[in-house]
Chains A and B, each alone.
Chain A
Amino acid sequence: MVQLLTLEGEFSAAKEYADYAELIRDLREADFLKFYRDMARIRRFDNEATALQRQGQMGLWVPAVGQEAAQIGSGHGVGPNDHIFPSYREHGVAITHGVDLMSIVKMYRGVNHGGWNPHETRFHLYSIVLGTQALHATGYAMGLNFEGRVGTGDPENDLAVITYFGDGATAEGDISEAFLFAATNNTPQVFFCQNNQWAISSPVGTQTKVPLYKRGEGFGVPGLRVDGNDVLACYAVTKKHMDDARSGKGPTLIEALTYRIGAHTTSDDPSKYRDAAEVEYWTARDPLIRFEKFLRKQGIGQEFFDEVAAAGDLLAAEVREATFAMAEPELDLMFDHVYSDPHPLVAEQKAWLKGYEESLGGHTPETPGDDSVNYGGTR
């Protein structure tokens, strides 16, 4: 397993991982601080989102607590023009590619189904049906091959694709088919599997009999395992294999071994199926704590951590306020964009519903603030 930071935050690379360690030596202090800021930012956001769900402000929340190193590290290892095909828990990866966090809140609040522009962010929409996005990523990467956007050595030209999925999704046929299409087409692609060890209530042993990083081998996709709670290792393996993919060396499967400290979603109750001791074990391996130790050893002082904590509180307050202020969707949203070209049935039904609503006095989306009980947040 590739690890570059010990649990005590010492930078230490085994000989066989020298290539990865080299990529860390290219980083500057500002990069390290950025990694930490992003991890802390997404942790604070995540906890706020759970609180908002508990207060009835979101239909559902999907926490990613514990997976920040895997997401922020790998997200920063992806090139600025590369394309990312996420599952539905990749809030950390999203912020590394400039997705507005409120777009994610909007989706889980039930205002829309995502709706950000994947062409602009290069971070595609969350895919909720497990594994489907891996094939989209592979198709996209095949397109890059056809266009000659791979292996020219021109950094302006060459591109790669990364897809994220969990241990549970590896059981889906689409993941296996994506490995196959990727291997036979030698696509510029990384498969990034966050093995958080639980698929709702099913432990990873339900999904696989072999280590997940080996699941690509039979298809021709080599794999490796990385310590998913080591942000530097996650950055380095992603950067290296995305660089390799861009240069025409084909696809790689990365299994990031991490742990879902929280529930599957806010509808889940993990106390029913897993031991508190296991959660404690992994909580002690919190990726933020490990990276904080590293930074402190680099001479980063308390002032920085205080600043990050304050920024987190500010973010949480902003998210809370923006959530309360979020407009409800107009009924048009349900009908528009079902098709790109006009469609008579959809047009007819939209017109009917509008007429019906008007006959009842008109559909008015709830005005923000109508239900704005003060929940004692930091408004």
Chain B
Amino acid sequence: MSNMVELSIAKAINAGLKKAMQDNDKVLVFGEDVARLGGVFRVTEGLLDEFGEKRIFNSPIAESGIVGTAIGLAMRGFRPVAEIQFDGFIYPAFNQIVSQLAKLTNRSEGFLQMPVVIRVPYGGGIGAVEHHSESPEAYFAHTAGLRVVSPSNANDAYWMIQQAIKSPDPVLFFEPKRRYWQKGQVDLDQSPIGMHQAVTLKPGKDVTIATYGPMVVTALQAAEVAAQEGINIEVIDIRSMSPIDFGHIAESVKKTGRLIVAHEAGTFVSISSEIAAKMSELCFYYLEAPVIRVGGFDVPYPAAKLEELYLPDADRLMEAVDRVLAY
């Protein structure tokens, strides 16, 4: 049985939120401009009409307040879904996320659960002004007590937002904003795999590319280019940056012997650093080449006219493919 519909990633998140709000009246959606406008990316469009202003409402422009009140609402038994309007605006909430949200379950020895979802449109590629194109996921993946995920396609977007809302733990839900309008098939009936599981989107035998979020499409493009050159690339969507499904990646590396990890964020102390370190432990005797990391650079996200140079594209991935194959 399947019930397939074609949706953009933005519409799929919208549909997932709607389903979660229908299923559980404790689910609340709030943030800046999410109500009547439906958010600056329209991800929450239409929810106000269906659920009313006690379930979805605009918050003052105060990110610490948004997350701090979400924590209080969770203490009362609600399941808040807070939107941070853009990646670069999450920092005022950093203290509430790191010192409070992440730690309250541990501090209370389990008496308090924190089923809070923080939705964050992230990443570049939309020609935006400063602070609208960042990839801050590593800060949160580094923080014990948080879960960090990112869907790369519409089906995952629909299911993972619902899984995040059902989680008793806080989830940072990073939405690949330049892929919001990317359409895909969503299976409304099939029960999904766990949100922390990695998946192999394209099998291959020569090189593994592991990535997540907006870079998944880029990796698939690189795999196509490589195929024309007779190189068979395996593409893994890791989907979850905390925890990371190292076992799935290791299985692939044991097969291909070569791993590239890619993301938009700078590579220094990043998700790819962690994967590289872990693979050197798990796959030491299988690796034919060092793990190569492909990312943005360790500079502030550049002005829009330079972002094409900053963002890794299929060519930059292919350059890395050539390097790992040269060993």
Contact = CB atoms under 8 A, between A and B. Distances in A.
Contacts of A120: 111
Contacts of A333: 109
A225 B111 CA distance: 35
Interface string A224-249: 00000000000000000000000000
Interface in B275-314: none
Interface in B81-125: 92, 95-96, 99-100, 103-114
A105 B108 CA distance: 15
B168 interface: yes
Given A135-B65, A146-B54, A180-B60, A339 B72 contact: no
A142 B72 CA distance: 8
Contact of B68 (A124, A136, A143, A339): A136
A181 B76 contact: no
A118 interface: yes
Contacts of A340: 105, 110, 113-114, 168-169
Contact of B109 (A112, A141, A181): A112
Nearest to A119: B111
A316 B10 CA distance: 61
Contacts of B78: 143, 146
Contacts of B64: 135, 173-174, 177
Interface in B63-84: 64-65, 67-78, 80
Categorize the interface residue count of chain A: 35 or more
A140 interface: yes
B167 A139 contact: no
B60 A177 contact: yes
B255 to A, nearest CB: 22
Contacts of A339: 105, 145, 147, 169
Main DSSP-derived SS at the A contact region: helix
B65 A180 contact: yes
Contacts of B74: 139
Contacts of A343: 243
Nearest to B242: A345
**Most-contacted residue by chain A among B69, B71, B104 (CB, 10 A):** B69
A86 B222 CA distance: 55
A190 to B, nearest CB: 15
A112 B111 CA distance: 14
B76 A144 contact: yes
A135 B73 CA distance: 10
A338 B106 contact: yes
**Most-contacted residue by chain A among B71, B72, B114 (CB, 10 A):** B72
A203 B162 CA distance: 49
A115 interface: yes
A174 B68 contact: yes
A178 interface: yes
Given A135-B68, A143-B78, 4 more contacts: A114-B107, A132-B68, A174-B68, A180-B62
**6 closest A-B pairs by CB:** A139-B72, A135-B68, A139-B69, A143-B76, A177-B65, A340-B168
13 contacts: A116-B108, A129-B99, A132-B100, A139-B71, A139-B76, A139-B80, A142-B72, A147-B76, A181-B69, A336-B110, A337-B110, A338-B106, A341-B169
